[in-house]
Every structure is written in C-alpha cells, then in structure tokens.
C-alpha cells in the first residue's frame, strides 16, 4: 500500500539501542528498501525534503550516523569500516537484508565501504557528492586534521552574531554560495556546540582526511562496485569535493549513470529535491540488481586489474 504523504510532510525520528548506544533513525514507507546516509556533521534531517517523495514507492531508512544528530557520541571508532558495521547491525535490527544504499559526502564513503564489506546486502549504489573517490577536498575540512583544531572549533560553533557574521564572510571567500552550501555549512558548525559532538566530528574527519586531503580512496576497488547498478550525482559547482571526482569515477565504472546538477554546490538533494528524487526513483525502476555470486566475486578478486 502506497503512502500518499505530500512532499512537505516530515518523517519523525525513532530510537533504537545498538551495543548499548542510542541510534536515531527515520523510517517510513513500504516496498524495496532505500537507505539514505548523510554527510559529516550533518544528520538525517538533510533528507527531510527527499524522503516524502520516496516513501510513496519504497521503504526508506535514514539514520543519524553515530556521533551525529540525535545518535550517541561516545569515544571510539569512527572509521568507515566501523560505520559500515553499524549500518549492517541497524539493518539487521530493523529486519532488512538488502537495500539500495544512497550516500552523500561522508555517507558516500560509508556506502562504498558497506558495498565492499557486505556486497550481498547491496542492491544498488548511489553516490552523491561522495567522499572516497579522490584526494582533493576543501581546505576547511583539511584544517580539522590540524593539531589544535579542537581549540578553534569551539569558537566557530559559538552562536553569537559576531561569530555568525565573520563565518558567513569567511565562507564566501572560500567559495560557498550564499544559499544551500552556506546554510548547511553553518548548520553543521552550530551542531558542534556540544563537546561530545566536536570530539566525534574531529575523530571522524581525522579518520578520512589528513593535511593533504582525503586519506582513503576506493579507486583500486571500484571494479567491484562496477558489478552493481551505480548512480553518481554531483553538483557542478561543488566547493567541498570537486566534480572531477564524479567524472573520474564514471570513467572507472562505465556502466554507471552520471547526473550533474548545473550551477549546484555540495548538496544537490537540497538544491533540487524534486529532481533528485525523480532521478533516484527512475534509476531504481530502470535497474535490476544481480544476485550475489561468491564464486564470481572470488574470480574478480583474483584477476589482474589496472
């Protein structure tokens, strides 16, 4: 039975306990499962304009990754592998075995890692302005890898008018447009007011980024992801992760579908949620995930790859 919720209707969050820690998520709809993974310092709120357009056709799950949003922020492992493991556990706890995995920014890196660790669980892979596809990343994220960043961040996250005005001016110089990119970046900084959130943010950043850029790259394993139906979505004017990563990944996975949003920055799903949802729904309708074959995967792993 379809959920005919209008696009403006929000999906309320729910909580579940995993390994003794609170894990927040949004879940609604029916049909095949679609998982939406947010970016760093963000939360499931980033999908609030997309989810209602998807739940008419699919069961949609959007978690707050550990250390983000309303989920717990304990000291611990914030690596991509740990995030992938927790996603597997969440899906197990919710009774979901397979899904189309959609990841934005950091969530794209988690999606890639999940598809590598648990290929039998992934029906399709959707990478939105994704991490893990190249070295280059904006200096503002590299700065978080600096020693002493934990001293600077509390100043950035203080919500006084002077701090807001200074940050807005600085972000403009860094190439962020005075719209979605700037709004979301500011919202991310405000979300770091609590010490636990700052600690989780720094641990996450330092797990994937160093002073030279992104530490981890899926380039040498994209041939495995190419076995899946893959959709790549990017903003043409992305200031955080350059659109060249999208073109390069598409070249490495020639059967993938590439969608570039002209004039759009790092958040294509927020700049144009209607178009984003329409592309995602069309991609799911038009593709069929092949059954997981361990023998075929074994032959791929043993083959020579450029």
Does residue 175 have a pLDDT over 70?
A: no
Inside any domain, residue 187: no
Average confidence (pLDDT) over 53-71: 97
Contact 152, 263 (CB under 8 A): no
Residue 124 domain flag = yes
Instruction: Give the pairing type, strands 257-261 and 230-235.
Output: parallel
Domain count, the chain: 1
Tell me, yes or no, if 183 is annotated catalytic. Answer: no
Reported pTM: 0.87
Q: Which of 57, 245, 266, 269 is catalytic?
A: 266
Is there a domain that residue 22 lies in? yes
Answer yes or no: 38 catalytic. no
Q: How is 218-278 classified by DSSP, letter by letter? A: -GGGHHHHTTS-EEEEEETT-SSS-THHHHHHHHHSTTSEEEEETT--S-HHHH-HHHHHH
In a domain, 283, yes or no: yes
Structural domain containing residue 62 = 13-135+215-302
Candidates 57, 64, 138, 238; catalytic one: 238
159 located within any domain: no
40: in domain: yes
Indicate whether 99 belongs to any domain. yes
pLDDT at 148: 61
Q: How confident is the model at residue 179 (pLDDT cuts 50, 70, 90)?
A: low
Active site residue 12: no
CATH classification of the domain holding 239? 3.40.50.1820
pLDDT of 69 reads 94
Active-site entry in 42, 105, 130, 256? 105
Mean pLDDT, residues 204-213: 75
Asked if residue 269 lies in contact with residue 85, where contact means CB atoms within 8 angstroms, the answer is no
In a domain, 59, yes or no: yes
Q: What is the pLDDT of residues 272-293, one digit of tens each?
A: 999 999 999 999 999 998 888 8
């Amino acid at each position: 039975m379809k959920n005919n919720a209008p696009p403006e209707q929000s999906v309320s969050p729910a909580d579940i306990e995993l390994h003794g820690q609170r894990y927040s998520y949004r879940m609604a709809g029916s049909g095949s499962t679609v998982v939406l993974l947010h970016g760093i310092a963000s939360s499931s709120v980033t999908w609030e304009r997309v989810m209602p357009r998807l739940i008419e056709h699919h069961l949609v799950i959007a978690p707050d990754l550990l250390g983000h949003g309303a989920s717990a922020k304990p000291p611990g492992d914030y690596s991509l592998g740990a995030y992938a493991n927790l996603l597997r556990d969440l899906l197990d706890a919710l009774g979901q075995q397979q899904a189309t995995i959609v990841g934005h920014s950091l969530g794209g890196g988690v999606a890639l890692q999940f598809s590598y660790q648990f290929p039998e669980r992934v029906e399709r892979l959707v990478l939105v302005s994704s991490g893990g596809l190249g070295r280059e990343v904006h200096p503002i994220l590299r700065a978080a890898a600096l020693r002493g960043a934990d001293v600077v961040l509390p100043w950035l996250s203080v919500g006084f008018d002077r701090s807001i005005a200074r940050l807005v001016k600085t972000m403009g110089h860094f190439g962020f447009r005075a719209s979605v990119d700037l709004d979301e970046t500011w919202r991310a900084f405000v979300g770091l007011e609590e010490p636990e959130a700052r600690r989780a943010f720094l641990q996450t950043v330092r797990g994937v980024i160093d002073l030279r850029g992104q530490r981890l790259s899926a380039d040498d394993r994209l041939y495995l992801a190419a076995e899946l139906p893959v959709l790549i979505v990017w903003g043409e004017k992305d200031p955080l992760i350059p659109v060249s990563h999208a073109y390069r990944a598409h070249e490495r996975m020639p059967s993938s579908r590439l969608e570039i949003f002209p004039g759009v920055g790092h958040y294509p799903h927020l700049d144009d949620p209607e178009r984003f949802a329409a592309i995602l729904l069309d991609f799911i309708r038009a593709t069929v995930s092949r059954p997981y074959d361990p023998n075929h995967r074994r032959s791929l792993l043993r083959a020579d790859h450029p």
